[in-house]
Structure formats: C-alpha cells, structure tokens
Amino acid sequence: MPGDELAGHEKPDGGPASGPGRASGEPSGDDGTSGPEVPRSRPGRGTARYLHGTTGRWLAIFGVSLGLLLIRFLVPTPVGQADNRDGPRLMCGLGLAKVVPPGQPVFFRYAYFEYLTSPGCVGRSPYPSSEIVPLEVARGLTPVFGLPGDLNLIALGVLMCILTSVAIASLATGLRIKLWAQLLVAAAVWLIIADSAFFDVFASPFSEGSALVGLLLVAAGVLYLRRGWRETVFGLVLAGSGGFLAILSKEQYMVLALPICVTLVLATAGRGRWRGLRRFRDREATAGVVVAAGLALMAGVYALWDYTSRYGQRLHHIQAVDMIFTDIVTSRSAAPAQLRAIGLPVSWARYAGHYYWDRTSIRLSPLYSHYVGRLTDQNIVHYLLTHPRYILSVGQSAAIFAQQFRTTQLGDYPISAGQPKGAYESRVVVVTWLIHQLPANLGLWLYVPLWIAMSGIGLIALYMGRARAWHRGGAVLVLCMTGCAFVAFIPPAYFAGISTTRHMVGANLATALAFTTSVALAISLIQQALTRGRRPAALGHQGRGRPDGRGQSGTATITSDALITATTSRPSARPSSRAASTVMEATSRTPFASSTTFAVASPAVTPVTVALIWLRALSCMYVVLS
C-alpha cells in the first residue's frame, strides 16, 4: 500500500512537499508519529524505509483484525442470518437454492449456509446487485475451502472478513496520527463492524453485506485523497470499489452516490488560491472526477432499471402499500381523512396497520386493481409534502426503529449449533449495548443533533485545523459518512414501510464511523486550541528578558531555536548548480536594519545544511504571526 512518508508535510495545493530528514526518535511532524533513522548517504532510502514501516504496520493491523474477525465468525460455530423471504430474489437469480433438512422451517428461524443448483431457478434473471460479485467469488472459494454445496455462505463470510480487515487497516494507517492512536482507532472500528447489528449479514443471502463493507472502504479511501499521486490512486481504488459495493448493493442505497461522488470530486480538487475549473486540471483531481463520474453513471443505469423493469415496479408498489398502511394509515379513527387525502377509498380503513403480505391486506380487496395507480412513491411524496407534520411523525417512528440498532426477529445459528429456533447471537454487542443505554424513544432527537454536531466538527477541522495534517483527512471522512448516514436514512424511513431496523444498518454504520472520528477530531482541536493559547505567553516571557527592554521578534527566536539542530547531507548527494552556494546565513534584525553574512564554497563540494525540525519552526512561526 502507499506509504505516508509526507505526514505533516503537505503543500498548500495538496501535493507532496520535500523536506529534510530527521534523527532517530524525533517526531516526523506535528502528529507526533515516529519513524526510522534517515540515512545520511541516500535521502531517498529514508522514504523507502518509512514506507516499509508503514506497510508493516498496515499488515499487522490487517492480520490481527482478520484473525479476530474469523474467530468471531467461526468459533464455536459459524453464525449468519436467517432468510426472511428476501433471499430467493438474489440467490435464485444465480440458479441456487438453500439446502433445508426435511421438517425444518425454511425462513426466519435458522441460518442455512449450503446452496445447490436448483432446477426451479434455472433461467431466472439475476437480481442486479453488487452482492453478486462477492457471491461469485465465494462460489469459487467453496471447493477451495472444502465446504459442502455449490456455494457455501461460510466462504462468503470469510471473504467479507478479509475485505473488512483491508478497510480497517487502511483506515487506521490512513489517519496520520501516533501509533497508539492508530491502534485505538483500529480497535474502535473493529468493535463497530464486529457488532452483531452489522456482522451477521456477512454470511447471509442479503445485499446489506456489500453495503456495509463498501461504506468501510469508502471511509478508508477518502483519507488518502490529495496526498500525492500514489496515495490518491490508492485512496481512489478503495473508495471507488467501496462505492461500487455500497451504491449498487440494492435500490435503497442508490442515494449514496450523492455524498460519495461529491466527496471524491471535492477532496481531490486542487487547493490554494485556485478558483473554478482550474482546481481540476491536475491528474489527482482528474482521477477523482473520473471515478466519481463512473460511480454516478452506474448509479444512473441502476436507477433506470429500478424504475422501468417489471420487477422494480412491483417491488416499489409493494413497498408503497407497506408504507401507506403501516406508517401513515395506522389507526381506524384517523384513517378516513388520511385515505381521502391520498385518494383511496374510505372503506379501506379496515386495512389500517396491515402490510402487503398480511392475511388482512388491501391486495385481497375487490377495489384493489382499480386503485393500483394511487399506490406509488410519487403519491406518498405528494402526501408528505402537503402534510408536513407526517414527515416528522413518520421520520420519528423510523428513527426509533433505527435506534433499536439490531434485528432480533431472524435467527443467527445453523441447525447444527443446537440452539433454539430463532436464537440470535451476542458475541460482540459493545455498540448495541451502548446505544441501548440511551432513552429508547429518542429517535430523531438523537440522530439529527448528532448529525449536525458531527458536521460542525468536520467543517471546523477542515477550515480551522490545518496545523495538524490528519485533521483534513479526518474531516473529509466525518463529512462523507455523515452525508451517507443522512441519505441512507431516507429510503427505509419514507419508502420501505417494514423491516425498518434491518434496513437502517447502512445509516447506523455510517453514523458510528463518523461519530468515532469526530470525537477524535474534537479532542485534537481542543488540545490544539489550548496549546496555541500557551505558546504566545511563553514567547512573550522570553522577549522581556532582553537588557534593552525590547522584546525579541518571536519569529526570529523560534526560527533560530529550531535551526540549532541541523542535518548535513553529503555533497555528492545534492550538488549545486550555481557558481556559489550559500551554506550559512546568520541574520541579526532590528526594527530598522538588518545585516547578512554569507559563506560560499565550490558548488561541487557544497554540503547542504538544513533544519532538522522544520515543522516545529514553521508551526511556531504560524502561532506568532497569527
């Protein structure tokens, strides 16, 4: 993976900036990360060794994360999630059907991992979803792992664990912070994704697994954007593949294209004083625009299929029925007025609170075919806009379901585990437990203020916290994930109707990732503000010690202090092209005069003496000048 050798050394336009080496044990920048000793003879080898150290750190976090995820998945028995009748639309499209022992329930109670080719599914068109890609890879891995069946979901779960570990390692090392802080971030993200609310869908016949892994990859990828060409390419590979998995996982996640594509375009744009399209002329910005355009194009094609295909139209019709009669028309007393406003017969008040597949459903009404044209998403939008109080009430109800955080209506164990029917596992439930400590019915009173606060922290870190290099990457992650959480909340809240808690996993994961990073940003910003408040006082105390009573220039004091320790490279490593090279400049300044003394030498033998701790000098100069 690309190294992070330029931590804390960004140029204003986001490109890499060259800088001197440093002695062993010294911090590499204001983030305080340590690195190996820089060789005197070949400055380029310092970068190579630092890259090797970063790669080793990445591999270590990846290996530990993967090992723990596999233990969490397989020991003492594999866990997944039972089918709730949605699985066949994905699996039967691949020509597969699950193997169910005779006399056992087919849906809801047990997680079945073994799938065989089924004659009843031959010729079925596959449901378009990015989940097909990991499923086909798992089909190839099934015989490699020696698992039974043509496709075994245990192989899918292992593949998802590998992709998740890649995302965790990339996210942790992508934040240019100290090693202990990177490990803390990796542990926090591991606890989030390993929570039963998210992890159980990895080995299931649902599309949510791709959406969750995709969001993790996007969160990791945006950290590398605009940090040099190699880092930007690595970040775009992560974010682009993650965007593909998340956006195209199912129809409700198509809206993720908006925050993800906007982030890719803006985060790769040139910084500084450029304006307009000039910010997108370099290759990093162009690459970001190309990846974003590709994701937007795929999302547009998927949306076209979703709204024109027979299957997509039927699905939206069923969801509209569920939405109207389980979220809007919920009581018989208020039903007549609501039905008239929607344009439906008042006699349908008896169906209030009943979803499409219920035994008491409007699909059984003799008037059903006459009013099919009124049971649409467009009619729901019109009703909500003309009755805005229902926007809040429906949203509040959906947010309360989202706050439940995990579904407990589907079993997680296979029959071989010996667990009761419908038993759900709780191997890792740290995040779920923390959420359940909050008042149960906060709903929007929890999510909306949290999203606003995290967006504020991200904006502050982006525009006011540039003194620390990791603030920009962390701010981009927070803003992107907060946007993903907000847009992912809308479809299941206002256009799904049922299974709201399960459909909210994408919004909840994005919120958890943004919250973790925003807390770290807030702590860092507060610490930075306190540090800036102390430094001017210390500088003023030094200036008052001069015999003539005049305070010494803060800039000159700090610069000379930082230049005390210097490093000198061999003359042959950096020859001068000028007739005379300056190797030393001693400057004494007063308010009205200055004098400079130069020492010159032959360009062929000139050693280069530079400050060892450039960032310390520059950051202190920034504090004094500001």
3-class state of residue 365 by DSSP: coil
- Judged by phi (left if over 0) then psi (alpha if -120 to 50, else beta), residue 280 lies in alpha
Give 113-171 as a 3 state SS string.
CEEEECHHHCCCCCCCCCCHHHHHHHHHHHHHCCCCCCEEHHHHHHHHHHHHHHHHHHH
- Would you give the distance in Å from CA 126 to the centre of its chain? 28
Confidence at residue 127, expressed as pLDDT on a 0 to 100 scale: 86
Confidence at residue 466, expressed as pLDDT on a 0 to 100 scale: 59
DSSP class of residue 250 equals S
Q: Which residues pair with 569 in a beta bridge?
A: 608
Distance of alpha carbon 11 from alpha carbon 9, whole angstroms: 7
Distance of alpha carbon 626 from alpha carbon 78, whole angstroms: 58
* Helix or strand holding residue 97 (H, E): strand 96-98
Distance of alpha carbon 150 from alpha carbon 570, whole angstroms: 64
List pLDDT tens digits, range 218-267: 999 999 999 989 999 999 999 999 999 999 999 999 999 999 999 999 99
Distance of alpha carbon 466 from alpha carbon 173, whole angstroms: 19
Distance of alpha carbon 457 from alpha carbon 455, whole angstroms: 5
The dihedrals phi and psi of 124, each to the nearest 5 degrees, come to -75, 135
Range list of β-strands (E), 449-593: 566-569, 581-589
Distance of alpha carbon 565 from alpha carbon 22, whole angstroms: 10
Distance of alpha carbon 287 from alpha carbon 234, whole angstroms: 11
Q: Which two tokens stand for residue 360?
A: 């008491």
Sheet of 114-117, strand order: 96-98, 114-117, 151-152
Range list of β-strands (E), 401-445: none
Cβ-count burial of 27 within 10 angstroms (0-12 exposed, 13-18 middle, 19+ buried)? middle
**What number of other Cβ atoms are within 10 A of residue 133's Cβ?**
15
Distance of alpha carbon 356 from alpha carbon 359, whole angstroms: 9
Count of helices and strands (H, E) across the chain: 21, 7
Range list of β-strands (E), 373-477: none
DSSP class of residue 567 equals E
Distance of alpha carbon 275 from alpha carbon 277, whole angstroms: 7
Confidence at residue 207, expressed as pLDDT on a 0 to 100 scale: 93
Strands 581-589 and 594-601: antiparallel
Average pLDDT value for the chain? 80
DSSP-derived secondary structure for 279-295? GG-SHHHHHHHHHHHHH
**Residue pair 402/489 in contact by the 8 Å Cβ criterion:** yes
Residue type at 164 in one-letter notation: T
Q: Which two tokens stand for residue 290?
A: 């190309």
**Residue pair 8/30 in contact by the 8 Å Cβ criterion:** yes
| Cα distance from N-terminal residue to C-terminal residue, the chain | 37
Confidence at residue 229, expressed as pLDDT on a 0 to 100 scale: 92
Confidence at residue 122, expressed as pLDDT on a 0 to 100 scale: 80
Q: Which two tokens stand for residue 494?
A: 């206002």
Confidence at residue 416, expressed as pLDDT on a 0 to 100 scale: 92
Query: What parts of the chain have a pLDDT lower than 70?
Result: 1-52, 272-276, 465-467, 533-626
Distance of alpha carbon 283 from alpha carbon 294, whole angstroms: 16
Q: Residue 140: CB partners within 8 Å, gap ≥ 6?
A: none
Cis peptide before 420 (omega within 30 of 0): no
**Residue pair 66/162 in contact by the 8 Å Cβ criterion:** yes
List pLDDT tens digits, range 390-401: 999 999 999 999
Confidence at residue 530, expressed as pLDDT on a 0 to 100 scale: 84
Distance of alpha carbon 338 from alpha carbon 145, whole angstroms: 56
Q: Residue 487: CB partners within 8 Å, gap ≥ 6?
A: 255, 256, 258, 259
